[in-house]
Amino acid sequence: MTSHLRRAWPLVALVAVLAATIPSSVLAISTEQFYKEGEDIFDDWDLCRTRAEGEDGFFQVRSETSFRPIIVGESLGANADRAYRIGQQFARDYPDIHQRAENVFAFARDKIRYSSDASQFGFPEFAQNADEMTTTIDEEGSARGDCEDYAILLAVLYKGAGLRSAIVLASDHAATLVHLPGYEGANQSLSIGDEAGWVWGEATGGNNPLGWMPESYIGAQLAAYEVEDEATEAAGPPDKATTVVTKGSGGGGFGIPPFFIVMAMMWLLSLSRRRRARGRR
């Protein structure tokens, strides 16, 4: 346990330095559907886009093992729109579910270019919902996003395609799981609770195949939440002045979102508590 802590602390220190030094970008394309409260940006579901933690955060992170990716509900159920329809088209085009899952994965992997939120929006963190991503893809041919944007889009596409999906969080990363029992293309078969057959979707790399799980996350502590096909209830137009969130023309860049700093600290505190508990035995 001590060796895990020794390895983790330099990572957290590096994360903190990177987050503090993320540059702002020159801003361009604007979208008007948000309002500002304090330093945070909220959408018309009253969901905070610049923070993952808390009941109004886009992932509702409560602890190192407890979260709910509520932002996916902006594109599911009664809110289903472009992303869900794209998933439905994959279901029509690919009756074989393994082939369908691979093509959904390839769509997200190939249509999104990794970009930090700071370089794209000027915020250390800004989550996009699945329909915002697919609208950009439809209009511009591709979109930019970071790991949670890939994960959110894939989770919704898979639901539209008739497949079960989940969001998975590590201390420094977000990815998607798809339920594919018997799939032979994965380097790891994962379980949620007692149910096996879940496959990792790591779309952030341009050459990654479906099922490839980075070695750094094999055996690591992970938190997973299976996505249900239900809508997040819209709050209606905010009774506050709207603000403009702009997209910059900056390139990829590298940045660690603040919520991963929080997740990393939660994991470390959990490890420390278990270590102290063992020491008292």
79-108 pLDDT, tens digit each: 999 999 999 999 999 999 999 999 999 999
- SS3 at position 172: coil
Query: 55: pLDDT confidence band, cut at 50, 70 and 90?
Result: very high
41 in helix, strand or coil? strand
Q: Is the pLDDT of residue 145 over 80?
A: yes
CA atoms within 13 A on the CB side of 242: 13
Distance CA(36)–CA(40), nearest Å, equals 6
pLDDT at 275 over 80: no
> If you average pLDDT over residues 183-202, what whole number do you get?
95
Question: What is residue 259's predicted lDDT score, i.e. its pLDDT?
Answer: 58
Say if residue 280's pLDDT is above 80. no
pLDDT at 246 over 90: no
Termini Cα distance of the chain = 15
pTM exceeds 0.95: no
pLDDT of 279: 55
Contacts of 97 (CB under 8 A, 6+ apart): 162, 163, 180
Higher pLDDT, 9 or 129: 129
Helices (H), the chain: 2-20, 82-93, 97-111, 117-121, 130-140, 147-160, 258-279
CA gap 120, 146 in Å, rounded: 10
Question: Dihedral, CA atoms, 142, 143, 144, 149, nearest 10 degrees?
Answer: -130
What is the pLDDT, as a whole number, of residue 234? 81
pLDDT at 250: 46
Residues recorded for the chain: 281
Residue 8 — pLDDT band, cuts 50, 70, 90? very low
Res 177: pLDDT: 98
Extents of the domains making up the chain: 2-279
Position 1 confidence tier, pLDDT thresholds 50, 70, 90: very low
Model confidence at 12: pLDDT above 50: no
The pLDDT of residue 237 is 64
Q: Average pLDDT of 219-241?
A: 87
Structural contact between residues 257 and 126, judged by C-beta atoms closer than 8 angstroms: no
| Rounded Cα gap, residues 281 and 275, in angstroms | 10
What is d(CA 165, CA 180) in angstroms, rounded to the nearest whole number? 10
Q: Identify the residue with better confidence: 277 or 54.
A: 54
Determine the Cα–Cα distance for residues 82 and 65; give it in Å rounded to an integer: 31
- Kindly state the average pLDDT of the residues 118-133: 96
More confident call, 78 vs 7: 78
What is the pLDDT at residue 273?
Answer: 57
Least reliable range by pLDDT among 15-24, 38-47, 51-60, 154-163: 15-24
